[in-house]
Amino acid sequence: MENKKDYININGTNLYFDVSGNPKGTPLVMLHGGLGSMDELNSISPYVATNYQVIRVDFRGHGKSLLGEQPLSYLQYQKDIQALLNHLDVGQYSIFGFSDGGIVAYRLAASQPERVNCLVTLGAQWRLKPNDPSIELLSGLNEEDWLSQFADEVTYYEENNPEPNFSKLLHTVKGVWLDTTASGYPDIAVKTIKCPTLVMRGDNDFLFSLDEAVALKASITNCSFANIPLTAHSSHQESPKLVGEMLRQFLRKHTN
């Protein structure tokens, strides 16, 4: 597969994707977090570019991708990624997913275990229990809160998205975060994940607790766990060398 950047019409919308790295390498899908874009993975992409063909995509409505008319959900993200990989004629692949991207990665690995060779996630919840403390935080999040912390990301979105509407995107994505139906978090479906898995979280992550990470490790048969010191939710940006090296070493050990 040749390296390229392009739009593709999938499931009623136009998604922007990027294929880079080693054209002859094993496919590695890298998925970004909620309200972000593929560019937030730039800090760790160089650690895998030499040996893997890296496939990145902006989730619908995010980055340079259009939102479309379909209701937004983790299931819809999953279907979009599966359709893109089928279009690219990718059979087996590995995945790295950050936050929302990791939640989608769990769903992909659980729904088609025969296709996923290796799974690595960072800061990615796998369920949303009724008493989860993140519910109050996510429910109360507003546009001003996000702008105060991620002004550069919002500016990137507004300058690069063909139909920018950040208020609408935020409202829609909050619905994804709080979805406890079958279209949301994978929950007990993670038990069907068979591939070697590495779950990472920042030691000070306010969304993905240590208790939930330990429970997830116990739910996946072949699972390793890493707590990244001196970082919070976005460990790959706060400590890119440590996260990048761990990703590279885990993939090297468990993929051809």
pLDDT by residue, tens only, the chain of 256 residues: 678 899 999 999 999 999 999 999 999 999 999 999 999 999 999 999 999 999 999 999 999 999 999 999 999 999 999 999 999 999 999 999 999 999 999 999 999 999 999 999 999 999 999 989 889 888 888 999 999 999 999 999 999 999 999 999 999 999 999 999 999 999 999 999 999 999 999 999 999 999 999 999 999 999 999 999 999 999 999 999 999 999 999 999 998 6
Task: Give the pLDDT confidence score for residue 255 in this predicted structure.
Answer: 84
Instruction: Judge contact between 215 and 222, C-beta under 8 A.
Output: no
Find the CATH number of the domain harbouring 245.
3.40.50.1820
- Distance, CA of 71 to CA of 220 (rounded, Å): 29
Q: What are phi and psi of 150, to 5 degrees?
A: -130, 45
**pTM (whole model) above 0.95:** yes
Q: What three-state secondary structure class fits 133?
A: coil
Task: Give the pLDDT confidence score for residue 109 in this predicted structure.
Answer: 98
Q: What are phi and psi of 166, to 5 degrees?
A: -65, -35
Task: Give the pLDDT confidence score for residue 256 in this predicted structure.
Answer: 65
Domain total in the chain: 1
Instruction: Judge contact between 62 and 37, C-beta under 8 A.
Output: yes
- Distance, CA of 72 to CA of 165 (rounded, Å): 15
Instruction: List the Cα angle 116/99/171 in 5-degree steps.
Output: 120
Q: Which candidate, 189, 188, 187, 190, places its Cα nearest to that of 223?
A: 190
Residue ranges of alpha helices (H) inside the chain are: 74-87, 100-111, 134-139, 143-160, 166-177, 210-219, 235-238, 240-254
Owning domain of residue 188:
4-254
Task: Give the pLDDT confidence score for residue 3 in this predicted structure.
Answer: 81
